[in-house]
Amino acid sequence: MRRLALASALLALFTLGAEAGADPLPSWNDGPTKQAIIDYVTRIAKEGGPDYVAPKDRLATFDNDGTLWVEQPMYTQFVFAVDEVKTQANQHPEWKTKDPFKSVLAGDMKAVAAMGEKGMVEIVAATHSGMTTADFDQTVRQWLATAKHPRFKVLYTDLVYQPMIELLDYLRANGFKTFIVSGGGVEFMRGFADKTYGIPPEQVIGSSGVTQYGTWDEKPVLIKVPKVLFVDDGPGKPEGIEHFIGRQPIFAFGNSDGDKEMLEWTAACEHLCFMGLVHHTDAAREYAYDRNSDVGKLDKALDEALTKGWTVVDMKNDWKTIFPPAKSGSK
């Protein structure tokens, strides 16, 4: 009996040691970028250390498009919006002469992409006016269950970045509360964020349309109105963080100029702060783009990152794999 107890104790110690030595970011190549993340988390989580941050202040914000999942050749929600415009075009003859709808119906996807997040929000708000928030959520979920990426031929929700999923898990395992702060539509992202990223709806901040309370069939509903309430991009990101969260993040990740102000706001935190950018440098496994791209343009934010010492992830060199296994066929 004593031998059995001793064996069990040794097994427990071995298992604990194995878990303690486990790589928290296995899809990241060893190097300065990965080490910077691990060093940062270790420092702020060490009680009694000079950089210790109490769990209540461990707040991390992430952009979505291009930071957590693929955004090329066009924002995923743009693709969704385009499909909805085509579906509803017969009910709106005025769209033939009014942008951004005119460009969508003409098949000018370059012009549509150049309109950025604001154009996307306008399209989504218009195509879903008169619909309840519950019906919109159902429409989003149905579309995501069938729509496939034109290059990789898999569902868009399969094209999340495996290294970033590991990073989200690593932060939460160390007491962080993780938020999405994105220019995409908040109700669109809430349709998949919980299942895909482990981030619940109340921790998703995004561009929003106006909703109005009403009753249908004697039941209370929220009805979407064709009017933009808030665009969560650029300066709107720190403004949205303050309005919806009320706390300043100490850790933030983005990938474009639209994230610059969020990273600047994070850099001004009173604790040890971490600012990161995903730089898309891998045309073979994903896409390579930055300063001249209409989608996910990374120019001023990259210059600022290099000047101020923010962490820049080189996708080609820092990530062993990009997408989860057996999804896109890429490694």
Distance of CA 80 to the CA centre of its chain: 17
φ/ψ of residue 143, rounded to 5: -65, -45
User: Highest mean pLDDT: which of 5-19, 216-230, 281-295?
Assistant: 281-295
Architecture of the structural domain at 26-318? 3-Layer(aba) Sandwich (3.40)
Out of 11-15, 162-166, 206-210, 309-313, pick the least confident. Answer: 11-15
Residue 37: both structure tokens together: 């993340």
Name the nearest CA neighbour of 266 among 258, 276, 257, 256. Answer: 276
Rounded-to-integer distance, Cα 21 and Cα 35, Å? 14
Name the nearest CA neighbour of 122 among 226, 240, 236, 235. Answer: 226
Q: Identify the sign of the CA torsion 72, 75, 76, 81.
A: negative
Rounded-to-integer distance, Cα 18 and Cα 167, Å? 20
Beta-bridge mates of residue 278: 313
pLDDT-derived band at 128 (thresholds 50, 70, 90) equals: confident
Task: Tell me what the mean pLDDT of segment 72-98 comes to.
Answer: 89
Type of residue found at 305? A
Rounded-to-integer distance, Cα 35 and Cα 38, Å? 5
Examine the pLDDT at 18 and tell me if it is beyond 70.
no
Answer whether 159's CB lies under 8 Å from 327's CB: yes
Examine the pLDDT at 327 and tell me if it is beyond 60.
no
Name the nearest CA neighbour of 257 among 198, 297, 203. Answer: 297
* CB-count burial class (<10 Å; 0-12, 13-18, 19+) for 7: exposed
Rounded-to-integer distance, Cα 181 and Cα 272, Å? 21
pLDDT-derived band at 63 (thresholds 50, 70, 90) equals: very high
Rounded-to-integer distance, Cα 33 and Cα 39, Å? 10
Name the nearest CA neighbour of 75 among 126, 28, 9, 123. Answer: 123
Stronger pLDDT, 23 or 113, i.e. the higher one: 23
Examine the pLDDT at 59 and tell me if it is beyond 60.
yes
DSSP state of 90: G
Type of residue found at 235? P
pLDDT by residue (tens digit) across 148-202? 999 999 999 999 999 999 999 999 999 999 999 999 989 999 999 999 999 999 9
Q: What is the pLDDT of residue 20?
A: 55
Residues 6+ apart with CB under 8 A from 150: 73
Answer whether 52's CB lies under 8 Å from 272's CB: no
Q: Among all chains, which residue has been given the structure tokens 């085509």?
A: 86
Examine the pLDDT at 15 and tell me if it is beyond 90.
no
* pTM reported for the whole predicted model: 0.88
Name the nearest CA neighbour of 277 among 253, 245, 303. Answer: 253
Q: What is the pLDDT of residue 326?
A: 73
